[in-house]
Structure 1
Amino acid sequence: MTIAACNAYCAAGGYSYSGLDVFFNWRPNVDCDYTTQATATAVGASECSYPCAGDSGSLCGGQNRVYIYYNGAPPPTNKPVFGSWTYRGCFTDNRVMRSLHKKIDIPGGVTVEKCASECKANNYGISGTEYGIECWCGVFLEGGAKAQDGDCGMTCQADATEFCGAADRLTIYQDTQAALVDSHHCLQTTRSNFKLVAIGKQLGSKTTPVKVIDVNSVPHVGYSILSVRQGCSDDPSTILISS
């Protein structure tokens, strides 16, 4: 390891700070970041006295001591506003219960602008970028919780000057021109192993008979539907149980 190799490695990943230190077994270690963390404290240069493995004439930090270099490049940012889209923050996501249900492939790599544009073109008012390479769209957030902005620390695949979420983290933007969501509309989404095919709409005084089944009393029957009532679907036979 050399200082030049460390700096080049971090710069290639879009990082403006690079650091060299050593593990407990005295193996060299490379650290990259967009800024120095609040826990960092300056110490005397004599404490960073370990020679670099690839260049004995240079020093590569020490145990629990990091030689830090800065290349002057500005750190990535979350744009507060672009076009009709407004930054809403970093939100949690998971692979079992997605916070946004529609994934869209972006030719040429993901940026927040490209993702938002594709979401808008497909009539979605919320866009989310994840893991630097994924674009997700939706009309509302499905259970995603607000996280610290710093949790969304991966830069976008096609633009290292902006953040695109992280593992299980979404950088969320909302289209202020999009109509507010009516929760009575049919919405496609997922919940664990169940797919929500419709949300019921109030039809005034009209009632619809629903058959109630005690699943515990018929253990030999395996139902794939959690609950049903009058709703909308392209294929009612797949969601209604005959009485």
Structure 2
Amino acid sequence: NAVQRRQDHLLRWSLEKLNFHNWSFDQGSAYLGCFIDNAARDLPKVVNAGVKANSHYCIKLCKRAGYKYAGLQYASYCTCGNSYGSLGRVSNKQCKMTCKGDRREKCGGRWRNSIYSTGLKTRKVSTPGLKYLGCFADKATRDLRREAPRGHMSVPKCYRFCRKHKYKFFGVQYGNHCFCGNHYGRFGIRPNTECRMQCSGDKTTYCGGVWRNKIFTTGLLAKAK
């Protein structure tokens, strides 16, 4: 009868939804909450997924691109990044737009991201004394004067080079550059959103931006030799 058919339909829908989420969690992903976004972007990579937009698609997209977090926004957009929450968290009720790729799911809202971890694993590297100081402007005359050889750059790689050469500070820039120095900041500090180019040697982390140094301490106090 009609009631039985309705119950069967609801059961199949529930099982499909459960199986979908189990697939996601088996891959190491998890829902993290509803978060605010704006034009500067909490998660910097934005893709209009259109009718494909759902959590499965966006998580897979961001993970393949080397990002640790995936967001769904305004029913049809995927956003990817390696950090999230810079603009604050809000109630899940503000992430209630139906996904264009799966009407059973919610894909954020207007300037609201439904954020998931992608399950991407990162290898921990020992970096004693390392501390992030901020995103700073650079110019052709260079804020940090010593440059390391370029190629497959990462924060730990730049840290090791500058620490080996006895510098107190180091900065990564434009995804592939590493600079060392004992002073920094003469061109001013900038928002962290301007230091979000993926490192060429580790796409799970950021290595500055265009004329932007992401600067850290090496933990050393000695002068460079």
Cα deviation for residue 137 of structure 1 reads 1.9
Runs of 4+ aligned residues of structure 1 deviating over 6 Å after TM superposition are 74-77
Cα deviation for residue 115 of structure 1 reads 1.4
Kindly indicate whether residue 84 of structure 2 is the aligned counterpart of residue 35 of structure 1: yes
Q: Any idea what the Cα deviations from partners look like across 1:142-168, whole Å, max 9, x if unmatched?
A: 614455667644453323454433441
Kindly indicate whether residue 174 of structure 2 is the aligned counterpart of residue 131 of structure 1: yes
Structure 1: tracts of 5 or more residues without a match: 182-243
Cα deviation for residue 128 of structure 1 reads 1.3
CA contact (8 A) 2:95 2:113 kept: no
Identity %: 22
Tell me the SS of whatever aligns to 2:90.
coil
TM superposition score normalised by structure 1: 0.52
Q: What is the number of residues matched between the two proteins?
A: 171
Question: Which residue does the alignment assign to 1:106?
Answer: 150
Match of 2:116 among 69, 72, 84: 69
The AA in structure 1 aligned to 2:157 is K
For the structure 1 residues 103 and 56, does the alpha-carbon distance in structure 2 shift closer, same or farther, using more than 3 Å as the test?
same
The AA in structure 1 aligned to 2:154 is T
Kindly indicate whether residue 205 of structure 2 is the aligned counterpart of residue 157 of structure 1: no
Kindly indicate whether residue 225 of structure 2 is the aligned counterpart of residue 178 of structure 1: no
TM superposition score normalised by structure 2: 0.56
Match of 2:97 among 41, 44, 48: 48
The structure with more radius of gyration: 1
Q: Any idea what the Cα deviations from partners look like across 1:70-94, whole Å, max 9, x if unmatched?
A: 33558999x8x825x4325114122
For the structure 1 residues 6 and 99, does the alpha-carbon distance in structure 2 shift closer, same or farther, using more than 3 Å as the test?
same
Q: Larger relative CO (CA 8 A, sep 6+): 1 or 2?
A: 2
The AA in structure 1 aligned to 2:222 is A
Tell me the SS of whatever aligns to 2:160.
helix
Distance across 1 between alignment mates of 2:65 and 2:200: 10
Distance across 2 between alignment mates of 1:74 and 1:159: 12
RMSD across aligned positions (CA): 3.9
Structure 2: tracts of 5 or more residues without a match: 1-48
The AA in structure 2 aligned to 1:103 is E
